[in-house]
Amino acid sequence: MFFLASMNAQIDSRNKSISIPAIESPKDSLDSKSILPSKPIESNNTFKGFSTPKTSPQFNFPKKEFSMTGGEVFGNPGELYQKRFDKIEEDLKPEENGENSGLKENAFWGDYRTKSDYIDISYRDFGLVDGDYLRVLVDDDIIRSNELLIANFTGFRLKLKEGINKIEFYAINEGSVLPNTAEYRIIDQWSYLITGKIWALAAKVKVTIIIVKE
Q: Sketch the domain layout of the chain as residue ranges.
A: 96-213
Distance CA(112)–CA(194), nearest Å, equals 7
The pLDDT score that the predictor gives to residue 82 is 59
The pLDDT score that the predictor gives to residue 32 is 46
pLDDT at residue 113 greater than cutoff 80: yes
pLDDT digits (tens, 9 = 90+) for 147-200: 999 999 999 999 999 999 999 999 999 999 888 999 999 999 999 999 999 988
Query: 144 - beta bridge partners?
Result: 136
Query: How much is the mean pLDDT over the chain?
Result: 73
Nearest-CA neighbor of 122 among 190, 166, 185?
185
The arithmetic mean of pLDDT across residues 9-35, rounded, is: 50
Distance CA(179)–CA(24), nearest Å, equals 124
The pLDDT score that the predictor gives to residue 104 is 86
Residue pair 170/206 in contact by the 8 Å Cβ criterion = yes
The pLDDT score that the predictor gives to residue 145 is 96
pLDDT digits (tens, 9 = 90+) for 65-107: 554 545 544 455 556 555 655 554 554 455 444 444 567 889 9
Least confident piece of the model among 15-29, 109-123, 170-184, 192-206: 15-29
Residue pair 194/187 in contact by the 8 Å Cβ criterion = yes
Q: Are strands 107-114 and 206-213 parallel, antiparallel or unpaired?
A: parallel
pLDDT at residue 5 greater than cutoff 70: no
Residue 8, sorted as left (phi over 0), alpha (psi -120 to 50) or beta, turns out to be alpha
Distance CA(157)–CA(161), nearest Å, equals 13
